[in-house]
């Protein structure tokens, strides 16, 4: 995607919804009972924390341990929007004055070639992530 100064031009769908958990096995079992299938599982640190991606149709959940679950309404941590160019989307978000939660595009070793992402804050303090699965 070419830089067009509008952040709206840098995403094409919801990529995933992020949910922290205190009990990964119980959480996986719950979502499997609803028909979700495990897509991937990754270690996140050297203390036994992990992240699991589960999918039903085109809806993907990112579920992870280590941050603690909220256990009340508002427990969803973030909504991630799919982008094919996290760097350009970050520049557009910055140029448009969105409240950035990251000072630069972040990187993680998920999937084959990793991911690139950054977060903005919405008007109700919600976190919106823009995530690129590197191809």
- List, in order of start, the domains of the chain with CATH numbers: 12-133 (3.10.180.10)
pLDDT of residue 1: 45
Tens digits of residue pLDDT in 61-107:
999 999 989 999 888 999 999 999 999 999 999 999 999 999 999 99
Residue indicated by tokens 């067009």: 4
The whole-angstrom separation of Cα 118 and Cα 128 is 8
% of the chain with per-residue pLDDT over 70: 96
The whole-angstrom separation of Cα 92 and Cα 112 is 27
Q: Smallest Cα–Cα separation from 113: which of 95, 134, 92?
A: 134
Tokens coding 47: 């203390």
- Band (31; pLDDT cuts 50, 70, 90): very high
Supply the DSSP symbol for 9: G
Contacts of 2 (CB under 8 A, 6+ apart): 88
pLDDT of residue 6: 87
β-strands 115-121, 13-20 pairing: unpaired
The whole-angstrom separation of Cα 119 and Cα 126 is 10
Specify whether the CB–CB gap between 103 and 118 falls below 8 A.
no
Number of C-beta neighbours around residue 128 at 10 A: 18
pTM: 0.87
Cα–Cα distance list, 23 to 17, 19, 33, 69, 98 (Å): 17, 12, 16, 9, 34
């Amino acid at each position: 995607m070419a830089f067009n100064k509008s952040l709206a031009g840098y995403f094409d769908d919801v990529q995933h919804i992020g949910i922290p958990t205190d009990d990964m096995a119980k959480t996986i079992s719950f979502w499997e009972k609803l028909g979700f299938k495990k897509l991937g599982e990754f270690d996140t640190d050297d203390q036994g924390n992990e992240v699991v991606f589960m999918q039903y149709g085109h809806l993907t959940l990112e579920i992870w341990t280590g941050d603690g679950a909220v256990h009340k309404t508002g427990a969803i941590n973030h909504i991630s929007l799919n982008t094919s160019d996290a760097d350009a989307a970050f520049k557009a978000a910055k140029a448009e004055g969105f409240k950035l939660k990251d000072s630069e595009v972040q990187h993680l070793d998920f999937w084959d070639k990793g991911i690139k992402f950054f977060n903005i804050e919405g008007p109700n303090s919600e976190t919106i992530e823009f995530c690129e699965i590197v191809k």
